[in-house]
Structure formats: structure tokens, C-alpha cells
Amino acid sequence: MKKLISLFLAAALLLTAPAAALAEQAPDYTDLVTDAFSYAFDDEWSTYDYHVPKINRDEAGIQAVNADIWAKYYEDELWGEYGALTALEQGYSSEPYSISYQWAVNGDLLSLVVASHFDADYNSYVIYNVSLSVGRRITDGELLDVLGISREDFAAQAGQVLADTFEEQCSFFPEDEFKAEQRAANNSAANAQAVKPYLDENGQLCVIGTVYALAGAGQYDQPLTVLGPEQIPAGTVSTAGLPAEAPEDDRLAYFLENCDTVRFTRQDIEGFDEQMCEYARNGVYARAGRKFLSPELQEYFSQFSWYNPTIEAADFSDNMLNSIQTANVALVLAYEQEHGY
């Protein structure tokens, strides 16, 4: 009988040992992302919840992400009259009225999506894709490379999803000139290339994309699913092979793509040469729609799908920039002066 019990115990140990070993190897991400700050504001219409997230890791690159989130959602007044800090000090509700976030870890990739909620069901989103292996935010191009998806295939898939969503949401409206114009803008290559990718909790490749509408604001940013996990070529997500810092070309492209929503730091532009600085500084104005008297700059920015030159150089003013854009111009100017560019 004792021998039989011993055999059962031995068998149980054999069965549980692999599971225990796996449990030891699997990182615990339970509290990877938590509130850095939160408050609720009540008025006669509703209660508005405001949650500013932070990533609980010590790497310098991830702390830079936390600093960007904190500045954007707590200190700044990017989207309206009152940022969270001003609202608290003066007793007002903030604009946007509420902030929420969701996050997921796939492999060693953290995708954090922060949503700003406004009136009329309008939401704005900022995505932070972060490598937990190399400890920094990664670019959209790096994410696609990790997933084994070409830029062309991704843009085609995203474009199809945008087109399908427009038709579904606007199917009850009659065909007319305005609907045709909105459909053309929705289905443009520029709109497909402007989407921002991330992975959700189910391992699906999702995007925040702009879907044009026939009522209300005329266009709305929405979370959309582009590919299921079974359609992602790489299968397992691993960012461990990425460099500790993004390549310089990717860093400039990333700066240009995000200089209106991301407050960059000295580390982000360290190593930029004179020409890169010129493109970065003027890229802030280009993102705001400024035209350029310099044929070289006009030609350079015209290659990007996001460039929509609508403001003549003589009519442009720095007052047209938001606080983050202003800070990024000052950052590059200080760097140029320091290096004698």
C-alpha cells in the first residue's frame, strides 16, 4: 500500500513539475500598467472618470513613455480649455471629459491604448507599443517587421477594413455628391497609411483608423480589427531582436509622424545631423498644414501621405501649433543651437 501511494505521489509530481516550471518562466504582468493619477468629476449631467496610466518598469525608454503620458494627459491642455491639472486647481471638469485606457501583452510586446472621450461620442486615441525586452517604445514599422507583415500588405488590409466600415455605417444614407466625397476621402491611400497599429488582448492586429461619416463631425477615429492572430505570419511575437535604440531613419520618420501628439525628449533626437534637425523642426509645421517657400522642403514633405498643405507660408503663425508641437520645435531649436547647426 505504501509503495502504491509512493507511485501515485511520484506520478503527481511528474505531472505537476512541467506546469510549475512554466509558471516560473511566465512573467507576471498583473500590475504592469496601473493608474498614475485618477479622479472623478461630478456635474449635473454625469460623472466623468479620468485615469492617467503608467507602465511599472524602470527602463529609461519606458520611463520616457510614462513622462510623455503624464505630460499629455495631466499637465497639458492639448485638446481643450482645461487640462487635468488646471481643472483640479480651478474646480472645473477637464476637457476631454474622461480618459480611459486598455492594454495587452503579446509575447514581449505591450500595447497600451489611451482614449480621450469628448462630447457627441467623439474619441481620440494615442497608442504606445512598447518592447518589454529592449525597454523602449517601438515604431509602427518595427511592429510590422516583428509581425512579419509588409507595409504594402498592411496598408491594403487596413484600407479594405476602412472601406467596409464606411459602407456598413453609411448604408442607410442615399447616394449623393457628399457621400461620394466622403467615400473617396475614407478610401484614400493617405487615410489607410495614417492608421496606427497595435495588438489587442486576443492577439489580433488592430488599428485606430479614421472612418468618415455623413453626420456629426464628419469623421471619427475608431478601433478596427485588421488581422486575426492566425493571419499574422510571425505567429509568436518577439521584439528581443530589435536594437536598443530605433535606427536614425526610423527615428526621424517616427518624429515626423507623431510630432503633434508626442512630446519628444533630447534622447529621442540625439544623433540627428543638421539636415535631420531641419526636417524635424519644419516637420512640426508640415504636420500643421504649412506650405513652404523652400522648394526642397516642399518636395521633401510632399512625399508623405500625412502631409496636407493647406496654409500659405505667409498666413501661418506659431499660434496655430498646440502645446506639444511648440515644445517639439523648441527642443529641436535648442539642439541645433547647441551643435552650431
Domain 33-137 has CATH 3.30.565.40: yes
**Is residue 252 predicted with pLDDT exceeding 50?**
yes
> What number is the average pLDDT over the span 109-137?
88
At residue 271, the pLDDT reads 78
| CA-based torsion, 290, 295, 301, 303: positive or negative | positive
Interstrand relation of 205-212 and 196-199 (parallel, antiparallel or unpaired): antiparallel
Q: Which uninterrupted H or E stretch holds 257?
A: helix 248-258
At residue 89, the pLDDT reads 64
Position 246 confidence tier, pLDDT thresholds 50, 70, 90: confident
Q: What is the pLDDT of residues 6-50, one digit of tens each?
A: 444 444 444 444 544 444 566 889 999 999 988 877 767 667 788
At residue 17, the pLDDT reads 47
Domain ranges of the chain: 33-137, 145-231, 248-339
pLDDT-wise least confident of 58-72, 159-173, 227-241, 323-337 = 58-72
pTM over the 0.75 mark: no
Three-state secondary structure string covering 196-240: EEEECCCCCEEEEEEEECCCCCCEEEEEEEEECHHHCCCCCCCCC
Question: 304 with 258: CB under 8 angstroms?
Answer: no
At residue 76, the pLDDT reads 58
DSSP 3-state of 137: strand
Q: What is the pLDDT of residues 125-163, one digit of tens each?
A: 889 999 999 999 988 888 999 999 988 899 899 999 999
Question: 327 with 263: CB under 8 angstroms?
Answer: yes
At residue 18, the pLDDT reads 52
**Is residue 92 predicted with pLDDT exceeding 70?**
no
Question: In angstroms, rounded to a whole number, what is the distance separating the alpha carbons of residues 212 and 220?
Answer: 6
Q: State what percent of residues in the chain have pLDDT above 70.
A: 83
Helical packing angle, 248-258 and 140-147, nearest 10°: 120
Class of domain 248-339: mainly alpha
> What number is the average pLDDT over the span 225-247?
89
Q: Which residues contact 269 (CB under 8 A, 6 or more apart)?
A: 251, 255, 276, 277, 280, 331, 332, 335
At residue 183, the pLDDT reads 94
At residue 1, the pLDDT reads 41
Task: Give the Cβ contact number of residue 248 at 10 Å.
Answer: 14
Q: State what percent of residues in the chain have pLDDT above 90.
A: 43
Residue appearing with cell numbers 488582448: 201
Q: Which residues contact 111 (CB under 8 A, 6 or more apart)?
A: 103, 104, 105, 127, 128, 129, 130, 198, 199, 200
Average pLDDT, the chain: 83
At residue 328, the pLDDT reads 93
